[in-house]
Amino acid sequence: MMRLLRTELYKQLRLPRTWVALAVVVAIPIIITVALKVSPPDTGPGRGGGERGDGLFRLATQSGLLIPAAALRVMSEFFLVVIICMFAGDAVASEAGWGNLRFLLTRPISRARLLTTKLIVAAVYGLGATAMIVVAGLIAGVLAFGFHPVTLPIVGINESTGSLLGHLGLAVLLAAWGIAGVAAFAFMLSTMMDNSAGAIFGAVGFYIVTSILGAISSIGPMRYGFPTFYGGAWSQLFQGASFGGDMWRNLLVQIPYVLVFAGIGFWWFRRKDITS
């Protein structure tokens, strides 16, 4: 299993699009940091604002430790979804597209084991990409705004550097897991298609549709069950809240999606006639 895992990790690492994706996740936090340094947000009284991640951006210049959170917030709403769906959607469909799947499956390995390995590889790269946003943001943020705690008694925030680092680690896990249901959908499509673009775009489409439906309040409580509804809940960690509430809901709501989509993927792939 370890040898198979190593070969799959290597194969994904050598894909040009993996490097493009990883370059994007490193570049965007740096660009955000430069933008905030050159043009800091107005933190004066009465500057509420309801834009995406706006609260985090207004706080970001207080400490370099908040830059990665702001970068993760803005990226987890689209770029990170596309990147994680790419890793999941590539898993089987890219092999089929190259025509290499039929050779791989003439090795004495069970399909379930191969698929498990590919799922692990997708998870490792997805989690790795999320972590790289935070690491890049952390380095750029600390260089630009310093390494110090955040104390804002007016808004009830009093975070030590240790606490902020702990929250960043937790944010990586929660943000990546918040995309797990959509990624599992990409993975399922990947087992059914011979073209990874189809699996990736299908999953991104699923994300967009559930996000739009989740924003329509007249739909009622049904939207709370969408995999995207609580995706950004982790950002409350940086606005004075502790772990709980919507963050728990985000954890739990992903589970059935992951189980059902991945389960269908395994079922399908084990029965599939390999004709590509």
Partner 1 sequence: MVDTPVAIEDLSKSYGTVRAVDHLSFSVEAGQVCGLLGPNGAGKTTALRMLVGLVRPTGGETRLFGQRVTAGARELRRVGTMIEHASFVPHLNGIDNLRLYWEAGGDRFADADVDRALAVAGLGDAIKRRVKTYSQGMRQRLGIARSLLGNPELLVYDEPTNGLDPQEMRAVRALIRRVADEGHTVLLSSHILSEVEQVCSHAVVMDRGRHVAAGTVAELVASGASAYVEVDDPSRATSVLAALSGVEAVVDEAPGLVVRLAGATRPELVAALVGAGIGVQTVTSRHALEEAFLGLVGEETERHIGEGA
Work out how close the CB of 103 gets to partner 1 at its nearest, in angstroms, rounded to a whole number.
Answer: 6
Contacting partner 1 (CB under 8 A), which of 100, 158, 160, 242?
100
CB of 119 to partner 1, least distance (A): 15
Q: How far apart are CA 56 and CA 77, in angstroms?
A: 14
- CA–CA distance, 248 with 233 (Å, rounded to integer): 9
User: Which neighbouring-strand residues pair with 20?
Assistant: none
User: Smaller CB distance to partner 1: residue 8 or 159?
Assistant: 8
Strand partners, 158: 151
> Closest Cα to residue 234, out of 179, 177, 180, 175?
175
Give the number of other Cβ atoms within 10 Å of residue 120's Cβ: 16
- Out of 84, 104, 122, 183, name the contact with partner 1 by CB under 8 A: 104
Beta-ladder partners of 152: 157
Closest CB to partner 1 among residues 11, 148: 11
Rule CB under 8 A: choose which of 59, 74, 114, 171 binds partner 1: 114
Binding mask 13-52 for partner 1 (x = CB under 8 A): -xxx------------------------------------
Residue number, 122 or 174, with CB nearest to partner 1: 122
Question: For 206, phi and psi rounded to 5 degrees?
Answer: -60, -40
Closer residue to partner 1 (CB): 110 or 160:
110
Which segments of 61-160 does DSSP mark as H helices, in order?
67-75, 79-98, 101-104, 111-145
Q: Which residues bind partner 1 (CB under 8 A)?
A: 1, 3-4, 6-8, 10-11, 14-16, 95, 98-100, 102-111, 113-114, 270-271, 273-275
